[in-house]
A and B are shown apart, each in its own frame.
Chain A
Amino acid sequence: SQTIHQWPATLVQPVGSPLSLECTVEGTSNPNLYWYRQAAGRGLQLLFYSVGIGQISSEVPQNLSASRPQDRQFILSSKKLLLSDSGFYLCAWSVSNVRNEQFFGPGTRLTVL
């Protein structure tokens, strides 16, 4: 069976510090991978998606970036965090080339102080 992991679960960082959130998927190959951000009580905002290693599409221009160094690894980064980067970050995967549902990780709660 497939599983998706995210870490850390919770993170408190000062403004201007770097960020690295990691997401890994097990039990599947060549998945589509997604990063979402969710503000409190709000919907999901797609940040990045990837259909393969090194292939990243950005949906929202901002100070965040994403990388996919391995088939089942997706990393969300920032060189300098802003207060507005606070939120709940969700990673998801789906079967490639299929209009299928997305499966979500447990999320990371990021607080920028």
Chain B
Amino acid sequence: AQTVTQSQPEMSVQEAETVTLSCTYDTSENNYYLFWYKQPPSRQMILVIRQEAYKQQNATENRFSVNFQKAAKSFSLKISDSQLGDTAMYFCGSIGSNYQLIWGAGTKLIIKP
């Protein structure tokens, strides 16, 4: 069975700093997808970034990028030039052949002014 682990319950950084959120996963599959979602105080779940496991190149979306280490089963999210609006819960997820998205417990990120 797939599992996803986020070991950082809460993090806080100053505005404009760079922050990295960690995520590790466990799967026996070769073809799977990984995601980071953001849930701001409004509680709307928003997709931040996705990564196909068969692609070696790390995904990037503006200030958000991932460090995908397939052998280590690690999928960390880097937020550059952090902004106050980045304050949110961040969830890592993995989806495999059963099409079910397995979620981590989340990391609460606080950006301080």
Contact = CB atoms under 8 A, between A and B. Distances in A.
Interface in B15-39: 31-33, 35
Given A32-B99, A43-B106, A101 B47 contact: yes
B45 A99 contact: no
B106 A42 contact: yes
Given A99-B32, A99-B95, A44 B103 contact: yes
Contacts of B97: 99
Interface string A32-58: 100000100111101001000000000
B101 A43 contact: no
Contacts of B62: none
Interface in A1-57: 32, 38, 41-44, 46, 49
B35 A101 contact: yes
Nearest to B50: A101
A104 B45 contact: yes
Contacts of A99: 31-33, 95-97, 99
Interface of B: 31-33, 35, 43-47, 50, 91, 95-97, 99-101, 103-106, 108
Interface of A: 32, 38, 41-44, 46, 49, 88, 90, 92, 94, 97-104, 106-107, 109
13 contacts: A42-B106, A43-B91, A43-B104, A43-B105, A44-B103, A46-B101, A94-B99, A99-B31, A101-B35, A101-B50, A104-B44, A106-B43, A109-B43
